[in-house]
Chain A
Amino acid sequence: MTETAAGAPTAASSAMRDPNTDQLVERIVEASRRAGPVTFMEVCGTHTVALFRSGVRSLLPESVRLISGPGCPVCVTSQGYIDAACELASRAGVTICTYGDMLRVPGRSGSLEQQRACGAEVVVVYSARDAVRFAERHADRKVVFLAVGFETTAPGTAAAVVEAQEKGLENVFFLCGHKLVVPAMMTLLSHGDVPLDGFLCPGHVSVITGARAYEPIVKTYRKPCVVAGFEPEQLLLGICHLTEQVAEGRAELENVYGVAVSDGGNATARRWLEEVFRPAAAIWRAMGTIGESGLELAGPYRRFDALDRFELSIGPDYDPPGCRCGDVIQGKAEPEECVHFGVGCTPAEPIGPCMVSSEGTCAAWHRYGRGGVPGGRHSGEVSDGASSATAAGGSMGS
């Protein structure tokens, strides 16, 4: 590719660019000169993917490094949960309803996709309500909905549970795997083994929680936190504010996604959560059990709990052999540092969820980045033999 400097796009494309984008990139470059090398964690799988897909990653200077955190709800789901889902899928009369994200994650005996190929009924749905409606239409099936996702998605599950209650349904159940973002961020920081200069905070989780949810992080750990959305300009604006904060020695909570995020968030949605769920300890892949970081059904809604109904428990977490997903989601390793990346572990044949999940860090790097180039940036040069072979073979063949 004809490029002048690391990350600089070609002359042909500059005519098409948004002047705002150019200005923001310049501000980031300028601030990073003052700030020195910085590392920011983006705590949202959707951010991980958006940063790649929009090409924003390729526009950042080398000194601004982005690492991914525990923000892909599928990746942070423990192996035990996945195995429970597969166990339920194999039971006669059970239909699993799930978001597409979960379909290909490998469990102990294969993925839900593979279960489906062996005769299990696994239906991909767009909304938790779809699972309830499926249960209504198929009274002969026991429907289990895989309730994963963060605060953005949990209120939808709550509404679906209440709908099931109001309709008096007896054949729908929820395998609860919802998780809360801030406790995980706090746990990560308390371990202290990943040097970080700030957080790009998840825009849509924040719609529910409010920007204030990140105050404890700023107060306790003095890390800049900027809430940003997912459009390209939002990504640049968020990174720009983070870099400028570091350059100016500030550690503040900022919100550049005011169109959707308020300080206090969506109180109505949170009331629905309080009505249906209670906070509980949850097992996060590789991070162990984090107190009050998950949601379980409470009160009259317990009767919809799939673990209770089917007398299952979530087994202990484990890493698939050789898998470093746990390190990747904690920001301790970049995907390319895993020996399996692109070699034994590709989107078509994944070892762990980070490679197969649509928001998995490894999948994003593999799909959209040029394997072998740090941070997915494009240096315009031919990479060294080994990594370019990986890149060409991996991305084209998978």
Chain B
Amino acid sequence: MRSSPHKTDGERIVIAHGGGGELTQRLIAERFLPKLGNPLLNPLTDSAVLPVEAGRVALTTDAFVVQPLEFPGGDIGRLAVCGTVNDLAVMGAVPEALTLALVIEEGLCTDLLDRIVDSIARAAGEAGVVIAAGDTKVVERQRGDGLTITTAGIGRMREDVRLGMDRISPGDAVMVSGRIAEHGLAVMSAREGLAFETELRSDVAPLSGLVGSLFEAGAEVKFLRDPTRGGLAGVLADLAEQTGLSVEVEERAIPISAAGRHAAELLGLDPLTVANEGKVVCVADGSEVEGILKILHGHPLGRHAACVGRMLASQPALVELVTTTGGRRIVPRPYGEELPRIC
């Protein structure tokens, strides 16, 4: 389901749509505002102006270049909203507003653009955020990959919450909110050249509600991070590197669906390294685990949450997996491009 630049019927985006003139105005008025409009965006001024209360603000930015643009379970628009919202949520902020810069490749079908904008609107609604500001550019064919999206997100820090790697100590428990590897595998299945169908769907979802439920219940969470690029292994590597502590993880405790496990086997991928877009890793004192898991299990996005390991003082600071045989091996930081292999 890639965008199809050689279709000869249907409307397409042309360079002039990004020129700032009439076509741009019509694009915004007809395709963006009806779905994304809100008091911040509607004036279409050069900047959105937000009231600032006492306290601190979290600010994040993200770029989205996923291919294909639409994949099982989501699309680049949903990914853009959720990815940005989640970066705010895991900091202990309440996400409020996003900016959205679209770089559209000349020739993109407007039907596809409409679907993506619809998806952005839906995701923003789920997450309880508004699109406060936007920008649209159009680049020549072959310079754009169909569509790329850059965002910034802003949220108000919950002042009763203090999260950070510095709070982590030996003995702390490491939890994950649900089944891993679904997003990366779902996207890979949709890529040309793999001819691989799967019931797997991307888990892309806004986590502000899930995370919020932890804070609202007064759970003593020390640290949160979403395991996107690099997967769970990436976050575990971050933990070891930045706390100077070791992480010991039990392979049997890691939640993964049968389809996920098998798809990863098939492609020769380690599920620990595959991206997730609707999961959070949570570190807390061991005494908090039962309470935290109970809260997570009560939320639709956390039904398969589990405690997967713990922080240890042993040196050197490594991530070690206790395998299903009871043996051990290191979990390295992923290289950065996980490819289907024969070997």
Contacts and interface: CB of A to CB of B under 8 A. Distances in A.
A371 to B, nearest CB: 9
A358 B341 contact: yes
B322 A10 contact: yes
A395 B333 contact: yes
A130 B250 contact: no
Contact of A54 (B195, B248, B327): B327
Nearest to A129: B195
Contact of A396 (B240, B250, B341): B240
The B interface, classified by DSSP as helix, strand, loop or mixed, is loop
Contacts of A382: 315-316
Contacts of B267: 126
B329 A58 contact: yes
B309 to A, nearest CB: 10
Given A9-B328, A368-B332, A396-B240, A125 B316 contact: no
Contact of B330 (A45, A233, A369): A369
A326 B195 CA distance: 37
B278 to A, nearest CB: 26
Contact of B326 (A21, A53, A348, A358): A21
A301 interface: no
Interface string B77-120: 00000000000000000000000000000000000000000000
A12 B323 CA distance: 12
B322 A55 contact: yes
Give the interface size bracket for B toward A.
35 or more
B300 to A, nearest CB: 29
A324 interface: no
B45 interface: no
Interface string A84-108: 0000000000000001110100000
B237 A59 contact: no
A56 B327 contact: yes
B335 A348 contact: yes
Contacts, number: 150
A52 interface: yes
B318 interface: yes
A32 interface: no
Contact of B341 (A53, A100, A378): A100
A37 to B, nearest CB: 20
A366 B250 CA distance: 21
Contact of B332 (A13, A16, A395): A395
A134 B192 CA distance: 10
A236 interface: yes
B326 A16 contact: yes
Given A72-B343, A99-B341, A359-B343, A17 B329 contact: no
Interface in B221-251: 237, 240-241, 246, 248, 250
A396 B332 CA distance: 6
B2 to A, nearest CB: 13
Given A13-B326, A14-B326, A370-B330, A74 B340 contact: no
A1 interface: yes
Nearest to B238: A396
A55 B325 contact: yes
B342 interface: yes
B152 to A, nearest CB: 29
B321 interface: yes
Contacts of A397: 333
Contacts of B252: 16
Given A54-B323, A72-B343, A368-B329, 9 more contacts: A55-B323, A59-B327, A126-B194, A130-B195, A233-B325, A358-B343, A369-B330, A383-B316, A396-B237
30 contacts: A1-B246, A10-B322, A16-B250, A16-B326, A17-B326, A18-B325, A22-B326, A45-B343, A54-B323, A55-B321, A55-B324, A72-B343, A99-B340, A99-B341, A99-B342, A99-B343, A100-B339, A124-B193, A126-B195, A130-B194, A153-B342, A236-B325, A358-B343, A367-B330, A368-B330, A369-B329, A391-B316, A392-B318, A396-B318, A396-B332
